[in-house]
Amino acid sequence: MTTSSIQLRASGKRSRRDRGIVAIGLFKLLQGALFILLGLGAIRLLHKDLMQVAEHFILAMRFNPEGRFVSLVMDKVALIDPHRLKQISAAIFAVASLDLIEGTGLVLEQAWAEYVTLILTASFLPWEFFEIVRRATWIRGSLLVINLAVVVYLVYYVQARMRERRRREGGSR
């Protein structure tokens, strides 16, 4: 750590780069909290008739009950049994755990969290590109742009930290 970064930390001020890492961490924490809520919602559906819940939602949202989209949703909902719902909720909680671990590490500015976030975020990019090619929507496009920005930012940030560490180690010899 350089003298200037020690002074910045001691004074409570953060460099511009550090604020970016903290912002990504806060985004990951928010995402983790949303996944926890989604997982809890999935658990609450365990002992309910999913078809009835889906019908109620479709009517409340004023979707056309005879539409193609509603038929597709109802067909997919019919395939979900209690065991599958447990698997879905477990997967959701696993993703939430990863987001909370990443977010906490980034907010605390831990180097390991930068690598973990970089690897996990980059690993989802091929899937996101595939989804955009398959059917482009503004939500998919927005998620792709956000994740690309996070990956690019973290690559530059990690490289800068590695250069700084090499410079320190080279200067101490």
**H/E stretch holding 109:** none
pTM of the model: 0.74
In a domain? residue 8? no
Q: Tell me how far apart the alpha carbons of residues 42 and 40 are, in angstroms, rounded to a whole number.
A: 5
Average pLDDT over every residue of 124-139:
90
In a domain? residue 172? no
Which among 51, 131, 58, 47 is positioned nearest to 89, based on CA atoms? 47
Asked if 24 and 106 count as a contact pair (C-beta separation under 8 A), the reply is: yes
Q: pLDDT grade, residue 75 (50/70/90)?
A: very high
What domain range includes position 81? 17-109
- Both tokens of 152, joined, read 């690019």
What is the total count of domains within the chain?
2
Whether residue 47 sits in one domain with residue 69? yes
In a domain? residue 41? yes
Identify the residue with better confidence: 12 or 36.
36
